[in-house]
Structure 1
Amino acid sequence: MTEHYDVIVIGGGPAGCPAAVQAARLGARTLLVEKNGALGGTTTVAGVALPGLFHAWGRQIIAGIGWDMVRRSVALTGRELPDFTQWELPHYKLQVPVSPAIYASVIDETVVASGADLLLHTMVARVRRSSTGWDVTLCTKEGLIDLTTTMLVDATGDADVVAHAGLPRHANPNRQPGTIMVRFGGYDPKTLDYEVLDAAYERAIDAGDLVPGDLQLFTKPMHKFLRNHGENAIHVPGIEGGTSAAKTAAELAGRRTLMRVHNFLRALPGLEGLTVDRWAIETGVRETYTIDGLTRVTAVDYTNGRLWDDAVSFSFYPIDVHNHDGDGIDIRPLTFGTFPTIPRGAMIPRGSTNLVVAGRAIAGDQDANSAYRVQASCMAMGQAAGAITALAAGSAAAAVDVPIEDVRAALRAHGAIVPGDPDAPRTEAQSSSTELATPDRTHVS
């Protein structure tokens, strides 16, 4: 590990890993810093092992580094990719199930092979501007270490680096609930008496043994919850997660909720043998902070499929706002033929020249953020951030001043699909009659 880097990436989740790999492949001296013991973030540590969406209306719109890692991990486990031509299916059926263990190992190999340095079990402690970029202090097991870098990528999901740099962050007043990922076993959903179970649920709510939102839906939730073995269905409202204290509260709340649900279920007829077959060590947090960017993506921009002049990647997912009190999800599918894009300006904090944000913390309103926060979109943003910062470091330019065609050329060369290219999809006006029929679309990330 050197004392000076061209690019330091903080956060090794869906955005940070492609960012580090892309920067290193472009010849930048790159360091990737991750607080956990495994790379992959939401996919591995928070247990949402369903990356998506890489395709829109049957066409691939996100490829490149993140897609290559996902595809390779699927092949190594002998699984098959979904049939992406079946675009009329509920969106969650077009996400790509991966083995977290294999996927984490594939990321390890990809990052190391790129030439990037890697520090796990490490967090950023301090960031200060310098005449040539940034002075960065990292907190390692052996103590604090000081490094310098020309460019920084904030891929923390919480805009932690932005806050350390003294730049503003925005938080919505009603943040979406978190989810603790779990899969219950030890029972057969087809043999259960759901009228009896729903009545027991109502008694438990009245007695305070369960909290509304524990099973995601407030009214008769038992059939849906147990049919899906509780996966991606336990809402943990009232959490923030943007600070260590808030993260601690979120983890305690998540496990408290899991224990409450477990104890309730095991006391019911037919569920006496209930088991916890797997669970995620971290409670998943959907939103914390977003940045004050040069550009802000609104729901209108997103749902209209705006092609930004400085677009660097695609995104595709319905508006997917989990109600802040834990009661269900507001899902608004996109109109057929809509291909949303992500602008570079939304990734650059106002007041900074050599800091780029990738992932859910880019500038956008809550509705747009609920869609572009998902893993495939973050992977595409991360690869773009790696290209922007590597090129900026190599030319001594500000992130916003790197010619956008140079960024796009670098992305193309490394397998990404670039908005605006002749062979890339483009949103065209559609009549309201072309909106998709949407079968059960409630089991989502």
Structure 2
Amino acid sequence: MAIASTTHVALARRDGTNVSSEPEELGTDLTTDVDVVVVGGGTAGSIAAIQAGRAGAKTLLLERSGQLGGMTTVGGVCYPGLFDAWGKQIIAGIGWELVKESVELDGGTLPNFAKVPKAHHHNQVTINQFVYSILAEEKCVDAGVEIAYHEFIQNAKATPTGWELNCAGFGTNRRVRCKQIVDCTGGAEVVGLLGYKRMREDETQPGSYLFQLGGEHRVGRKQLHQIYVHGADSTNSRTVTEAKLAGRQLVLEKLREAKGTKRLMHLQPEPGFRESYRIVGETMITVNDYTSGRKFDDAICNAFYPVDLHTKTGVRPKPLKPGTVPTIPLRALIPKGSRNIIVAGRCVSSDRLANSGLRVQAPCMAMGQAAGVAAALAAKKGTTPLEVPLAEIHQLLAKHGAIIPGKV
């Protein structure tokens, strides 16, 4: 049997052009030169990559799993929110575009944001996680983003023009030279690898394992059952393994308790993690900033969700006062003292209570889009994200459909 020595995969954009047309030799080291590397293709990272690509930056997206969407898809938290507050939409842009198209393609329904719901979760958007994942891929391809699944950074060093990263996957060693990094790993893994400060509590919020026991799992129409996994920690492969084993054992116990009266109809491959490391940023969002709706001078997006800290006894959301819409500043996405790196997602610089509201999907998507803009502009200008004029960031965000704080 003949074994081919090369592979040639050409992904076609919807306009008929190819993303890559050069064959790569199997088993050899790769060198990739790009403007922006986005690490983590989850809720924030997929949006950051699409935005950077649409802004004209040559972009590489590294994702250690085999699909995009993170907690929205692999974790099964497929009811993102909140895009609205007090009867109006406060978060839009690429994240909303992806959510809206996922619902429309699946024949679902969208909430009416003009109505203030009795409970915040009534306006979370139920989506088909499988549709969302492949739509996110298509949007990356259309934006010219190169996706590298099953790859992660092993080490990195600063260069005069940015960074040099050594990445690995099974059968793949890749050297990446880039100008900017967007860390969307959830726990600021790249920030930690580079030696910048991170913070976390000794005890983290429980994760949730999502499953369906008995009855059809109505994908995109109904939320899954969930069970707490106490001590769930996404810090490294060992702690993630422990959380998976613990969660699956709990589901198995539920199945045994049913004594054959119910079948296991669905089980997510990953637990939904709520909390890990957060960066020590150029500024920190406190719970008082969050609950007062502080309008930061360098705000790049809005956020909205109750203070939502999960404990061993459950969760009692604390709603925000009527009319309150928190904002997220650019400086909270910048690791203190750093250059040429920005984060997005739940690792945003914030105290624990503020983070319990900031960590949900719509604000993470908005942060991802803002980080993609800042990184793309910094790469183009040969500077660092914090030195890009805020007006230019706002202008490009608005061009791509985002809602700028104070412009609702």
Say whether the fold is shared (TM-score over 0.5).
yes
Residue 296 of structure 2 aligns to a residue whose secondary structure is coil
Aligned twin of 1:62: 91
Q: Does 1:118 align with 2:147?
A: yes
Whether contact under 8 Å (1:20, 1:116) holds in the other structure is yes
Task: Name the structure 2 match of 1:321.
Answer: 309
- 1:173 corresponds in structure 2 to 202
Show CA shifts across 1:72-127 (max 9, x none): 01001111101222323311121111111111111111110011111112112112
Structure 1 stretches of at least 4 aligned residues deviating more than 4 Å after TM superposition: none
Instruction: Say if 1:186 and 1:273, in contact at 8 Å, map to a contact too.
Output: no
Q: Which has the larger radius of gyration?
A: 1
Q: CA deviation at 1:65?
A: 0.5
Q: What is the CA–CA distance in structure 2 between the aligned matches of 1:100 and 1:309, rounded to whole Å?
A: 36
Matches within 5 A, 1:389-400: 389-400=375-386
State whether structure 2 residue 380 is matched by structure 1 residue 351: no
Query: Quick one: structure 1 residues 340 and 230, their matched pair in 2 at CA, closer, same or farther if it must change by over 3 Å?
Result: closer
Distance 1:239 1:26 in 2: 37
TM-score between both structures, scaled by the size of structure 2: 0.89
Are 2:252 and 1:263 equivalent residues in the alignment? no
Match of 2:101 among 72, 90, 93: 72
Q: Which residue of 2 aligns with 1:286?
A: 274
Contact kept in structure 2, 1:184 and 1:230, CA below 8 Å: no
CA change 1:230–1:147 in 2 (3 A) is closer
CA contact (8 A) 2:213 2:225 kept: no
1:398-426 CA-to-partner distances (Å, cap 9, x unmatched) read 211100010000000000000133xx2xx
Q: Which residue of 2 aligns with 1:25?
A: 54
2:370 corresponds to: 384
Specify the SS of the correspondent of 2:158. Answer: strand
Per mean C-alpha deviation after superposition, the further-off stretch among 172-181 and 379-388 is: 172-181
Question: Is 2:282 the counterpart of 1:253?
Answer: no
3-state DSSP of counterpart to 1:180:
strand
Deviations for 1:272-315, whole angstroms, at most 9, x for unmatched residues? 42122212100111001000100101111001001100000011
Distance (Å, rounded) in 1 between the aligned partners of 2:212 and 2:284: 37
Per-residue deviation at 1:397? 1.4
Counterpart residue number, 1:307? 295
Superposition RMSD on alpha carbons, in Å? 1.5
Question: Once the 2 structures are TM-superposed, how far is the Cα of residue 3 of structure 1 from its aligned partner?
Answer: 2.2
**Aligned residue number for residue 48 of structure 1:** 77
Offset, 1:232: 4.8
- Report the Cα distance in structure 2 between the residues aligned to 1:232 and 1:384, rounded to whole angstroms: 33
Query: 1:149 and 2:178 equivalent?
Result: yes
User: TM-score, normalised on structure 1?
Assistant: 0.82
In structure 1, runs of 5+ residues without a counterpart are 188-228, 425-445
Give me the whole-angstrom Cα distance separating, in 1, the residues matched to 2:249 and 2:88: 42
Identity percentage of aligned residues: 42
Deviation at 1:243, TM superposition (A): 1.0
d(CA) in 2 for partners of 1:288, 1:59: 31
Matched residue, 2:23: none
Aligned to 2:387: 401
Alignment: residue pair count: 374
1:362 aligns with 2:391: no
Greater alpha carbon shift after TM alignment, 24-33 vs 137-146:
137-146
Alpha-carbon separation, structure 2, partners of 1:33 and 1:94: 31
Q: Which 10-residue stretch deviates more, 233-242 or 404-413?
A: 233-242
The whole-number CA distance in structure 2 between the counterparts of 1:69 and 1:231 is 21
CA contact 2:75–2:268 (8 Å) conserved in 1 = yes
Residue identity in the other structure for 2:241 = T
User: Is the CA contact (8 Å cut-off) linking 2:197 and 2:279 kept in structure 1?
Assistant: yes
Cα distance 1:336–1:71, how it changes in 2: closer, same or farther (>3 A)? same
Cα distance in 1 for residues equivalent to 2:223 and 2:385: 44
- Residue 259 of structure 1 and its aligned partner are, at CA, apart by 1.1
- Unaligned 5+ segments in structure 2 are 1-19, 21-30, 217-221
Q: Distance in 2 between matches of 1:250 and 1:158?
A: 15
Name the SS for the 1:166 alignment partner: coil
Distance 2:133 2:223 in 1: 24
Task: Give the secondary structure class of the aligned counterpart of 2:179.
Answer: strand
The farther-off stretch of 123-132 and 60-69 is: 123-132
> Using the alignment, how far apart are the partners of 2:245 and 2:337 within structure 1?
36
SS of the residue 1:331 aligns to: coil
